[in-house]
Amino acid sequence: MEKIDLNLFVYNETITKNDILNVISQQDIFSRYIGEPMESGYKINSPLRNDNVPSFTLFYHKSGDGTLMFYDFATKDCGDCVVFVTKLFGLGYKQALFKIAFDFGLSKVEVTSERREIINATRVIEKSNVEIGVNKRSWEKHDVKYWKSFGITKATLAKYNVIPIKYLFFNNNASIVDKHSYAYLEFKDDKITYKIYQPFSSQYKWINNANYTVHQGYTQLPKKGKLLIITKSLKDVMSIYDTLHIPAVGLQSESVMMKDSVMNEYKARFEKVICLFDNDKAGKNLSVEFTERYSVPHFFMPELKDVTDFSDLVKKVGSVEAKKIFNELII
């Protein structure tokens, strides 16, 4: 097995902006997340919002300390490269520092908790005192093809912090993962929760040490909105976002109910909240529980072959038809 330097993969909560800028330039950070080479003085359409007129630029701070800043002429938003990442991905400052370090290969997530669960299609195995980490790789054609089949773009995968991985680590023991292997990163209270997804694995489809109070897609939600969909997976969240342009959150498990305070928060932020769980027995039972406990309506995907959830529907009939079916359901 290829030898891996595990010291490269330690998540350091004390990482600072200076630590990062000692290795990576400010310009490289802006360019990576904007998606094109950037220099001071150029105007482009703002990556922070829908923008048809170039109104976003970079400039060096007038103090002369060499800080490269962004400025949006329409919203007056302004800040350095880390602030830009906070606004682009809806993160806190420490979370943005970690994301930059991780995306540029400077650190690894090393997450520990009292409860670990390795989940496959048929059973749950509890683990304790297990450290989980990954080695990130580049996106390849087979990755893009897989996610595109559910209507999910690379831009949305980046928005929701999904990355392809080459190695998986348990207590510093490296193992090669499946060709289609991905890590989901979620942030809560400046902590990282961590979930591995291997859709074609014959051994483990899910490896999960995520905090069950973390709702997948929560940090990407707008502050207010007309409709919020509660579903059961990040894949559905992303498929819904790309196909319907509607915000959604996914539960970590269909066996876990949310706190009343969390549902009250969702109802305060969105005019309407609905549930869209699987159309199998477990999903239907959970839907009834949600409706009875939280007074929110529930809907199911049509019972077509190989379709249990929204992402399955997109794969089966395509994004346009899936959107039409959804609109007919909720009218």
Helices and strands (DSSP H and E) totals, the chain: 11, 15
Residue 273's domain spans which residues? 218-330
What does the alpha-carbon distance between residue 239 and residue 242 come to, in Å, rounded to a whole number? 5
- Tokens representing 201 are 């694995």
What does the alpha-carbon distance between residue 148 and residue 161 come to, in Å, rounded to a whole number? 16
pLDDT digits (tens, 9 = 90+) for 197-256: 889 887 678 776 666 778 899 989 999 999 999 999 999 999 999 999 999 999 887 766
Of the ranges 24-38, 106-120, 160-174, which one carries the lowest mean pLDDT score? 106-120
Instruction: For residue 142, count other CB atoms closer than 10 A to its CB.
Output: 10
- Determine the pLDDT at residue 153: 95
pLDDT digits (tens, 9 = 90+) for 56-107: 999 888 887 788 899 999 899 999 999 999 988 888 888 888 888 877 766 5
Strand order in the sheet with 248-250: 248-250, 225-231, 270-275
pLDDT digits (tens, 9 = 90+) for 287-327: 998 999 999 999 998 888 889 999 999 999 999 999 999 99
Instruction: For residue 236, count other CB atoms closer than 10 A to its CB.
Output: 28
Residues 222 and 159 in one domain: no
Inside any domain, residue 189: yes
Residues 156 and 240 in one domain: no
Coil, helix or strand at residue 197: strand
Asked if residue 184 lies in contact with residue 197, where contact means CB atoms within 8 angstroms, the answer is yes
Average pLDDT of 104-118? 42
What does the alpha-carbon distance between residue 287 and residue 140 come to, in Å, rounded to a whole number? 37
What does the alpha-carbon distance between residue 68 and residue 83 come to, in Å, rounded to a whole number? 11
- Determine the pLDDT at residue 6: 30
Pairing of the two strands 43-44 and 56-60: antiparallel
Residues 283 and 236 in one domain: yes
What does the alpha-carbon distance between residue 153 and residue 144 come to, in Å, rounded to a whole number? 8
What does the alpha-carbon distance between residue 165 and residue 174 come to, in Å, rounded to a whole number? 12
Confidence of residue 20 (pLDDT cuts 50, 70, 90): confident
Residues 202 and 227 in one domain: no
What does the alpha-carbon distance between residue 69 and residue 64 come to, in Å, rounded to a whole number? 12
Residues 168 and 228 in one domain: no
Residues 153 and 251 in one domain: no
* Side-chain half-sphere exposure of 18, counting CA atoms within 13 A: 1
Q: Helices 310-317 and 319-330 meet at what angle, rounded to 10?
A: 130
Residues 190 and 97 in one domain: no
What does the alpha-carbon distance between residue 160 and residue 93 come to, in Å, rounded to a whole number? 17
Whichever domain contains 52, its CATH number is 3.90.580.10
Per-residue pLDDT for 32 more than 90? no
* Partners of 111 in the β-ladder: 132
User: How many domains does the chain divide into?
Assistant: 3
Per-residue pLDDT for 26 more than 60? yes
Per-residue pLDDT for 158 more than 80? yes
- Determine the pLDDT at residue 8: 34
Inside any domain, residue 195: yes
pLDDT digits (tens, 9 = 90+) for 131-156: 667 778 889 999 999 999 999 999 99
Asked if residue 220 lies in contact with residue 234, where contact means CB atoms within 8 angstroms, the answer is no
Select the more confidently predicted residue: 85 or 168.
85
Residues 243 and 190 in one domain: no
Average pLDDT, the chain: 80
123-128 LR contacts (CB < 8 Å, sep 24+): none
Inside any domain, residue 213: no
- Determine the pLDDT at residue 259: 84
Residues 228 and 292 in one domain: yes
Confidence of residue 43 (pLDDT cuts 50, 70, 90): confident
